[in-house]
């Protein structure tokens, strides 16, 4: 009986270790970049959004800040998932400003090719970004529990948790002109009021 208990404990420990090595969600890539304002034109040259014959032209010199995350999920379905974005910008007055944005998704299928993005409007980007490296941390939560995190800054660990974020600044992609690009690569956003 004692040997059976020891074997069961060893098996349980190995299953826990295997689960930690293969989490439910894993980041594949996180990129910070600048993108120009998207302008959608129809065949007649008017600035419109059309379903048929849609063409994207970068016709402005106004730069948006974009942070994008590619991630994979292993369960067959995840009911709800949140991604928190933390962006630390060196401002023109030599102070660092931390911006936070959150995107909530619903009904996420198992896949190796999920994408998520947040943006900073070109006016906010021009105002708050000085020069230097932009640092970031991106965190996935399921039911409020941190499942994965990827950061450009290794030290100190969880550096974004010790800072007070700016109350606004990062925009959900649905609030930008980029909302109609590659729509099938992005999961449905959770805009529902769930009971607590």
Please report whether residue 9 resides in a domain: no
Give the model confidence (pLDDT) of 68-104 as tens digits: 999 999 999 999 999 999 999 887 777 888 999 999 9
10 Å CB burial of residue 140 (0-12, 13-18, 19+) is buried
CA 112/CA 38 separation, integer angstroms: 27
Q: How many CB atoms lie within 10 A of CB 51?
A: 6
Please, which pLDDT band fits residue 43 given cuts at 50, 70 and 90?
A: low
Judge whether 191 lies within some domain.
Answer: no
Q: Strand, helix or coil at 153?
A: coil
The per-residue DSSP string of 25-58 comes to: EEEEEEEEEEEEEEEEE-TTS-B---STT-EEEE
Question: Looking at residue 98, what is its pLDDT?
Answer: 92
67 vs 166: which has the higher pLDDT: 67
Total count of residues recorded for the chain: 196
Q: Is residue 190 part of a domain?
A: no
pTM recorded for the entire structure: 0.78
The Cα 79–Cα 89 span in angstroms is 33
How far is Cα 144 from Cα 28, in angstroms, rounded to an integer?
Answer: 21
Could you tell me if residue 162 is inside a domain? yes
CATH number at residue 113: 2.60.40.10
Residue 174 structure tokens: 């649905």
C-alpha 148/C-alpha 173 separation (Å) is 21
SS3 93: coil
Q: What is the pLDDT of residue 13?
A: 52
In whole angstroms, give the CA distance from residue 38 to residue 23: 36
Range of the domain at 51: 24-185
Asked which of 2-16, 52-66, 177-191 is least confident by mean pLDDT, the reply is 2-16
CA gap 102, 92 in Å, rounded: 25
Q: Into how many domains does the chain fold?
A: 1
Mean pLDDT of 28-54: 67
14 part of a folded domain? no
Give domain status of residue 171, yes or no.
yes
pLDDT of 53 > 80? The answer is no
Helix, strand or coil for residue 76?
strand
4 part of a folded domain: no
Residue at 194 is within a domain: no
């Amino acid at each position: 009986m004692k040997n059976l208990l020891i074997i069961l404990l060893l098996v349980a420990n190995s299953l826990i270790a295997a689960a930690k090595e293969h989490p439910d969600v894993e980041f594949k890539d996180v990129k910070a970049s600048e993108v120009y304002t998207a302008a959608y034109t129809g065949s007649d040259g008017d600035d419109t959004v059309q379903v048929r014959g849609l063409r994207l032209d970068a016709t402005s010199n106004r730069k948006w800040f974009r942070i994008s995350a590619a991630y994979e999920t292993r369960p067959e379905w995840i009911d709800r998932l949140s991604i928190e974005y933390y962006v630390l910008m060196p401002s023109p007055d030599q102070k660092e400003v931390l911006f936070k944005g959150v995107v909530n998704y619903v009904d996420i299928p198992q896949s190796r090719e999920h994408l998520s993005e947040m943006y900073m409007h070109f006016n906010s980007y021009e105002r708050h970004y000085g020069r230097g490296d932009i640092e970031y941390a991106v965190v996935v939560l399921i039911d409020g529990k941190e499942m994965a995190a990827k950061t450009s800054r290794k030290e100190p660990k969880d550096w974004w948790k010790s800072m007070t974020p700016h109350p606004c600044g990062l925009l959900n992609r649905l609030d930008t002109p980029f909302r109609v690009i590659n729509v099938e690569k992005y999961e449905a956003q959770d805009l529902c009021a769930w009971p607590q």
